[in-house]
Structure 1
Amino acid sequence: MTVTTKRARPSAIRVAIVDDHRLVIDGLVAHLAARRHGIEVVIGEPTWVGLLSHSEFPVDVAVLDLNLDDSIAIDTKVRALNAAGTRTIVMSRHADPSSVQGAFKAGALAFVPKTEPADELVKAIQAAAAGKRYENGPLLRALSEPTASENPGLGKQERRALVLYASGRSIREVARDMGTTEETVKSYIKRGRRKYREIGIDLGTKILLRRHGIREGWLTPE
Structure 2
Amino acid sequence: MAPPNTREEPVPVIRVALVDDHRLVLDGLVAGLHSPETGIDVVASETTWGALLNHAQFPVDVVVLDLRLEDGIPVGTKVRSLAAIGTAAVVISRHADTSSITAALQAGALGFVAKTESVSELLVAIRSAAAHQRYLSPALTAALTEFTAAPDPGLGKQELRALVLYAGGRSIKEVAVDMTTTEETVKSYIKRARRKYRDIGIDVGTRILLRRHGIREGWLSPE
The answer, yes or no, to whether TM exceeds 0.5 is yes
TM-score of the two chains, using structure 1 as the length reference: 0.66
The answer as to whether partners of 1:58 and 1:86 remain within 8 angstroms in 2 is yes
State the Cα RMSD in Å. 4.0
Distance 1:82 1:138, change over 3 A: farther
Letter in 1 for 2:131: A
Gaps spanning 5+ residues in structure 2: where? 1-10, 181-189, 191-204
Aligned pairs, number: 189
| Structure 2 contact 167–210 (Cα < 8 Å) conserved | no
Please state if 1:46 is matched with 2:47: yes
* Matched-pair contact (CA < 8 Å) for 2:100–2:218: no
AA matched with 1:197:
R
Equivalent position of 2:63 in the other structure: 62
Aligned pairs for 1:148-187 (under 5 A) are 156-160=161-165
Structure 1 residue 155: Cα displacement: 6.0
Work out the CA distance in 1 between the residues paired with 2:153 and 2:50: 34
Q: 1:60-110: per-residue Cα shift (whole Å, max 9, x none)?
A: 001111222233322222111101211011111222211211211222111
- CA–CA separation in structure 1 for the residues paired with 2:153 and 2:22: 34
Deviations 1:22-56 (A, max 9, x none): 11100010112245222111111112222222222
| Displacement of 1:143 | 2.6
Contact 2:99 2:218 in 1 (8 A): no
C-alpha change, 1:145 and 1:58, in structure 2 (3 Å) is farther
Q: Indicate yes or no: 2:198 matched with 1:197.
A: no
Alignment of 1:18 onto 2:19: yes
Cα pair 2:164 2:214 within 8 Å, conserved: no
How many percent of aligned residue pairs carry the same amino acid? Answer: 44
Q: SS of the residue aligned with 1:146?
A: helix
Q: Distance in 1 between matches of 2:207 and 2:154?
A: 8
Bigger radius of gyration:
2
The residue that corresponds to 2:123 in the other structure is: 122
Does structure 2 conserve the Cα–Cα contact (< 8 Å) formed by 1:89 and 1:125? yes
- Give the alignment's TM-score, normalised by structure 2: 0.66
d(CA) in 2 for partners of 1:50 and 1:93?
22
**Amino acid of the residue matched to residue 201 of structure 1?**
R
CA contact (8 A) 2:21 2:69 kept: yes
